[in-house]
Amino acid sequence: MTRKWLLWLPFALGLGLFAVFYLGLLRPDDHVIASQMVGKSLPEFATGPAMPGQPGAASADFRDGKPRLLNIFASWCVPCVDEIPVLVTLKAQGAEIAGIAVHDTSIDLARFLAENGNPYTSIGLDEDGQAQIAFGSSGVPETFVVDGNGTILYQHIGVVTEQDAPRLLAMLRRGKQ
């Protein structure tokens, strides 16, 4: 009797496998790719200044004991507009924000910042996306919390909303040396 059941076992396994694959087809595969750099030291990068009168961003700037937000954005990025007011509020509450503008130009950025506000203390121009890849970032906008030693504490993927702001601020305060 057990022998008879055993014969059906491969068939049942195959059916189970088919069910798993079929369900996978129904559920599209669109998860966000989190950076593996969280918990690690900032990668070496150097981006030139994007705006006259504002410095660019480089990894060395992040090791001065001051925790910072590192915001990856672009003037061509539509959702980035939504988070600028939140970033401005965060800056008013004492957050220091460095920006990295991906695939951008100074002219487009100047217009973008004039229209939406400028919460950044430094903006680096990442013309060929090499800094973005070094961070393990897969899109704009993304915001990294970096502590005073230059260690990445957290990655926020997508727009920073008013609900996210207190959490980011708390992380910055904890990152202080």
Partner 1 sequence: MKLLVSICALLLAVSPTFAQDYSEESLPDPKQEAVAVQLMDSIRCVVCQGQPISGSNADLAADMRRLIRERIAKGESPEEVRAWLIDKYGDWVSFKPQVKPATLPLWIVPLLALIGGVWLVSRRLGKKAG
End-to-end CA distance of the chain: 70
30 binds partner 1 (CB under 8 A): yes
Cβ atoms within 10 Å of 92's Cβ, excluding its own:
9
128 binds partner 1 (CB under 8 A): yes
The helix-helix angle for 106-116 and 78-92 (nearest 10°) equals 60
Cβ atoms within 10 Å of 11's Cβ, excluding its own:
9
Compute how many residues bind partner 1; rule: CB under 8 A: 21
Stretch that binds partner 1, among 48-56, 64-72, 104-112, 131-139 (CB under 8 A): 131-139
138 binds partner 1 (CB under 8 A): yes
111 DSSP β-pair partners = none
153 binds partner 1 (CB under 8 A): no
Distance CA 117, CA 52 (A): 16
Q: Nearest approach, Cβ of 159 to partner 1 (angstroms)? A: 17
Among 117, 139, 148, 158, binds partner 1 (CB under 8 A): 139
Rule CB under 8 A: which residues touch partner 1?
Answer: 29-31, 33-37, 43, 102-103, 128-130, 132-136, 138-139
